[in-house]
Amino acid sequence: MREQLWFTAFLNQFLAGPVTALLRALHLQPKYPQAPIPNSVAMEVLVFLFLVVLFVLVRSRLSVDQPGGLQQIFEGAQGFVEGQSQEVIGHHSEGFTPFLTALGFFILTSNLLGLIPGFESPTGASPTVPLGCAICAFVYYQVQGFRHAGIGYLKHFLGPVWWLSWLMLPIELISHTARMLSLTIRLYANMFAGDMVTLVFFSLIPLGVPIVFLGLHMGVSLLQTYIFVLLTTVYLQGAVADEH
């Protein structure tokens, strides 16, 4: 019987049957048919529901004359991401702000969820969640590259000069897929290592010292979110750059 958080057990109680049926219909055998939903997916669902509620709340309280605290926080976040993408990408970067802000909120909430006892970070529980975020970022910047330059986007993979393109093509393809790998591993390893280190020090000195590591985990969560969004912005810049 796998060990589950209370929210995972709650979800599995109601949804184990339909989820197992769905997995079997796709020819996948769940390892524990009574509890097919793993902790990381349950925590992801929780983050998603929390963020949707938060966004609906903000949307319902938007006002031009008397912005409330929540609206100012969100305006600050949006201004920060927009200023950042303006600095990195330059012109016409406002269209990218919604995706980057949503990605940033998702990763930040996922990371910080691990600080609350009874929950764990979906980004630190299993490499699949950061991989999902990395694949979303990858698909997004490729699509934006194609939208910006049409089929000419493929010239980006061929390098600066035509007589090196036979060499540059495999190098560029590998480096683009390695970006996904590095985004995933960076986020997963930071969150996982934070958990590990807190556990190790908790087993050594149960009182007082682990608080330092929880604080470190908080700082690292913020920094890693910023890095993920910043790197996605840099990849976007590489994809939509105009070569003059």
Partner 1 sequence: MRRTLSYIFMAMAILCFAVPVFAQGGEAASAVNWVAISAGFSMAFASGICALAQGKATAAAAEALARNPAARPGIQLALILGLALIESLALYTLVIIFAKVVK
Q: Does 230 bind partner 1 (CB under 8 A)?
A: yes
Contact at 8 Å (CB) between 129 and 122? yes
Number of residues that bind partner 1 (CB under 8 A): 17
Q: Does 234 bind partner 1 (CB under 8 A)?
A: yes
Q: Does 94 bind partner 1 (CB under 8 A)?
A: no
Number of continuous H segments (helices) and E segments (strands) in the chain? 8, 0
Q: Compute the least distance from the CB of residue 124 to partner 1, in Å.
A: 12
Name residues contacting partner 1, limited to 173-202 (CB under 8 A): 182, 185-186, 188-190, 192-193
Give the C-alpha separation, 14 to 17, whole Å.
7
Q: Which is nearer to partner 1, 32 or 226 (CB)?
A: 226
Q: Compute the least distance from the CB of residue 54 to partner 1, in Å.
A: 27
Q: Compute the least distance from the CB of residue 34 to partner 1, in Å.
A: 26
Q: Compute the least distance from the CB of residue 206 to partner 1, in Å.
A: 23
Q: Does 131 bind partner 1 (CB under 8 A)?
A: no
Give the C-alpha separation, 168 to 3, whole Å.
48
Distances (CA, A) of 77 to 29, 87, 89: 42, 15, 18
Q: Compute the least distance from the CB of residue 182 to partner 1, in Å.
A: 6
CB burial of residue 200 (10 Å; 0-12, 13-18, 19+): exposed
For residue 80, count other CB atoms closer than 10 A to its CB: 15
Contact at 8 Å (CB) between 140 and 238? no
**Per-residue contact flags (x/-) with partner 1 for residues 35 to 74, judged by CB under 8 A:** ----------------------------------------
- Which window, 8-16, 18-26, 158-166, 229-237, contacts partner 1 (CB under 8 A)? 229-237
Give the C-alpha separation, 115 to 97, whole Å.
28
Rounded to 5°, angle at Cα 51 from 101 and 67: 70
For residue 132, count other CB atoms closer than 10 A to its CB: 16
Using the rule CB under 8 A, which residue among 132, 168, 226, 237 binds partner 1? 226
Interface contacts to partner 1, rule CB under 8 A: 87-88, 182, 185-186, 188-190, 192-193, 223-224, 226-227, 230-231, 234
